[in-house]
Structure 1
């Protein structure tokens, strides 16, 4: 499952897998406890594939940050807890993304990224590739 089916819902802990859309919103399943929730259009919802992290030069998609964590940790859980001290989180994130914008990326954002990464790993969601890259590969194979 790719990140375009994983949601973050403001005011609710953890992440949710998009199950189906309804007329008034959608139904999601919590990756924490498996409970289903109905979410209306008024809720603030973010799709993980649409989230980006500020750097000094540009915005880096969250999937690329997750991929860098996979490379650093060897596909295992992070060596740091999301409950670690602010300075420890910032040092860890600096190893992952050395040019992140410290003025616009807060410790709370880093906590979420670490927590989300570990939650995705627990649920065996490790496909952090770009769907556009896959489309390009399929298209180039068809042209040959």
Structure 2
């Protein structure tokens, strides 16, 4: 799943797509209603590709978490972000069983599921690209004996 150019803006609901750079910041387009507006450098803007979820061992990139949800839901909608916190946590355990339950807050889970559903509604949730590995060249026994 590619999250390049998808932004979250502090204090504003939803997700935004980077449209262009301007002198004082960036111009974004809402993924909810497609309205475009400028965002100044003073705003708290986070690129989704740079966000990760805490686990007990490491931080898992948001794209990987979204891919796990997509695989579980067969590219469909996830649980609503309006569900009770217990339901969100239970669902998250099915997706990422070792997520750090003390450092990942209920508000984080609400955002996570809301963002996934926005991406899914906009057709940005796709199947994982299969990584093709080049087969290693085999050395014949004749070449080994040289």
Bin for the TM-score computed over the shorter chain: 0.7 to 0.9
- 1:4 aligned counterpart, secondary structure: coil
Write the distance in 1 (CA, Å) between the matches of 2:106 and 2:119. Answer: 20
TM-score by length of 1: 0.86
Q: Counterpart of 2:143?
A: none
Deviation at 1:17, TM superposition (A): 0.4
RMSD over aligned CA atoms reads 2.1
Q: Counterpart of 1:86?
A: 85
Query: Per the alignment, do residues 32 and 25 of structure 1 end up closer, same or farther by CA in structure 2, a change over 3 Å counting?
Result: same
Runs of 4+, deviation exceeding 3 Å: 127-130
Write the distance in 2 (CA, Å) between the matches of 1:128 and 1:27. Answer: 29
Q: Counterpart of 2:37?
A: 37
Q: Which has the larger radius of gyration?
A: 2
Deviation at 1:68, TM superposition (A): 0.2
- 1:84 aligned counterpart, secondary structure: coil
Deviations 1:55-113 (A, max 9, x none): 000000000000000111111111x2110001010000010000000110011111111
> Which consecutive residues of structure 2, in runs of 5 or more, have no partner in the other structure?
135-146
> Which consecutive residues of structure 1, in runs of 5 or more, have no partner in the other structure?
none
Q: Counterpart of 1:62?
A: 62
- 1:53 aligned counterpart, secondary structure: strand
Query: When you count helix as a share of all residues, which structure comes out higher?
Result: 1
TM-score by length of 2: 0.85
Deviation at 1:2, TM superposition (A): 2.9
Write the distance in 1 (CA, Å) between the matches of 2:36 and 2:116. Answer: 21
- 1:21 aligned counterpart, secondary structure: strand
Write the distance in 2 (CA, Å) between the matches of 1:128 and 1:99. Answer: 23
Write the distance in 1 (CA, Å) between the matches of 2:95 and 2:102. Answer: 17
Q: Counterpart of 1:103?
A: 102
Q: Counterpart of 1:123?
A: 122
Does structure 2 retain, via aligned residues, the 8 Å contact 1:31–1:119? yes
